Structure 1
């Protein structure tokens, strides 16, 4: 039986139970660095994004360790029948990406951190467009939240979810052998020199924090893959690609 660090809504427990059962059936985990996850107080978790199923493996691991991750989820999900109802009743935070309302999510996330929650932000903002699935350029939400709250930022790299469900695929690739999910939690990102009353949140500080977060995620993924990432992170705008959604179709995913 999982002992939760913070109050967890019944709906959250129900959905987590269903998803844990499903993930056990199709995936096996190889986890390193779990000792870097704080055991007290709120913290930010910043994973790379390679598949629509990749929130489940590391969330499964954290849930088994007593954490109930609070996701900053895209607004369109909250408009989806059933899914939206579940998200609202499972204490998740809505983010209206690429709109003036996007920043409205940060105060909600800050309150969750103050309450000792694990808050999750995918700093890429969407599935990576990098041809080789390396982390692409980061968006500033995670950095802003970290600088405003001083909460530790734990970078997470994962490799394997894309084998179960490739980018923007609608059907999983099931096989006789469960798909290996490699998950690596990194040491907290060093942002101490950018936080505090004597280090105001300037554009330069936000950009520096964002770069450090993305560099930390990339470093952990390099350890999993045994390869070196490109020296320049992929920028969708520079390649004429949509910032969010399926860049190969008109779908908003």
Structure 2
């Protein structure tokens, strides 16, 4: 209930009035049934502008720390991420990636659209980075379609580290659903999962117009080299 109140009463009208968001291709999102919405990730505000423009309630996975804070700040954090349709994931354990996949599969089994950022973190510089294979694992395990979603200029609206967004029009673009049924039964095959993930990232590159970099975004943030990133993050399944 709080999700819909925020969308149509508390937050949504404000975002529509000041940012005049435009979403192209919303007809590519199925009106019913489970679907994976795989998006590039440019800004903290991505999880608000996109759900605002989609009639269905989108469920995102978020780290559990957002839901366990203390005091007034913790309370607002819980309300904030609950309003965004987020489900908490414990990322501190060694099995964090599997926990995320299990939760994602449960959300899809319940018939909801699941929002995923295959890059695993926000782009540090506006480029599109290598996708992690959790999105492919979920698609192959569940058999649901993957719809690519491109956030176009949200990094200009709210750059990393900027608290107050700039007032400017927000643009988003939705691509055609991707069907990976030809790979049925091959979940867990790292070569197939990498191929599926790369196809998703290629579609995101085409939709967004971003420059693609075949390195994990997290490695760039941590100032590691491409070789180090490839060795340390070898086919991580973190969603």
The TM-score range, normalised by the shorter chain, is 0.7 to 0.9
Structure 2 distance, partners of 1:23, 1:134, is: 25
Q: Confirm or deny that 1:113 pairs with 2:100.
A: no
Q: Say whether the 8 Å CA contact 1:236–1:242 is kept in structure 2.
A: no
> Does residue 1:15 correspond to 2:6, yes or no?
yes
- Per-residue CA shift, 1:102-156, capped at 9, x if unaligned? 3212222212212221111111111112x3x121111122111111101111100
Decide whether the 8 Å contact of 1:52 with 1:168 is kept in 2.
no
1:153 corresponds to 2:139: no
The answer as to whether partners of 2:147 and 2:175 remain within 8 angstroms in 1 is: yes
The CA deviation at 1:236 is: 4.0
CA RMSD of aligned residues (A): 2.5
Query: Cα distance, 1:44 vs. partner?
Result: 0.6
User: 2:5, 2:187 → 1: CA distance?
Assistant: 42
Structure 2 distance, partners of 1:58, 1:89, is 13
Equivalence for 1:184: 173
Aligned equivalent of 1:71: 60
Measure, in 2, the Cα distance between the counterparts of 1:210 and 1:140. Answer: 6
Q: 1:43 deviation in Å?
A: 0.3
Match of 1:41 in 2: 33
More helix by share: 2
Is the CA contact 2:150–2:204 (under 8 Å) kept in the aligned structure 1? yes
Q: Whole-Å Cα distance in 2 between the matches of residues 190 and 127 of structure 1? A: 26
CA distance in 2, matches of 1:187, 1:159: 17
Q: Which residue pairs with 2:86 in the alignment?
A: 92
Counterpart-to-counterpart distance in 1, 2:47 and 2:221: 27
Summarize the Cα distance change of 1:118–1:239 in structure 2 as closer, same or farther, 3 Å threshold: closer
2-structure distance, mates of 1:86, 1:240: 25
- Scaled by the length of structure 2, what TM-score is found? 0.80
Name the CA shift for 1:44/1:242 in 2 (closer, same or farther; >3 Å).
Answer: farther
Alignment match, 1:229? 211
Gap runs ≥5 in structure 1: 1-9, 223-227, 244-253
| Residue matched to 1:61 | 53
The 3-state SS of whatever aligns with 2:138 is helix
Q: 1:16 to 1:218 in 2, by over 3 A?
A: same
Query: Are the aligned partners of 1:159 and 1:221 in contact in 2 as well (CA < 8 Å)?
Result: yes
Task: Say if 1:136 and 1:99 are closer, same or farther in 2 by CA, change over 3 A.
Answer: farther
Tell me the equivalent position of 1:214: 201
Does structure 1 retain, via aligned residues, the 8 Å contact 2:47–2:84?
Answer: no
State whether residues 118 and 131 of structure 2, in contact with CA within 8 Å, keep that contact through their aligned partners in structure 1: yes
Q: 1:52, CA displacement in angstroms? A: 0.8
State how far apart, in whole Å, the 2-side matches of 1:15 and 1:74 are.
Answer: 21
In structure 1, what is the Cα distance between the partners aligned to 2:18 and 2:159?
Answer: 15
Residues 171 and 95 of structure 1: CA distance in aligned 2, closer, same or farther (over 3 Å): same
**Separation (CA, whole Å) in 2 of partners of 1:240 and 1:229:** 17
- In the superposition, the TM-score normalised over structure 1's length comes to 0.76
Which is further off, 78-87 or 145-154?
78-87
Provide structure 2 residue ranges, at least 5 long, that are not aligned to the other structure.
225-239
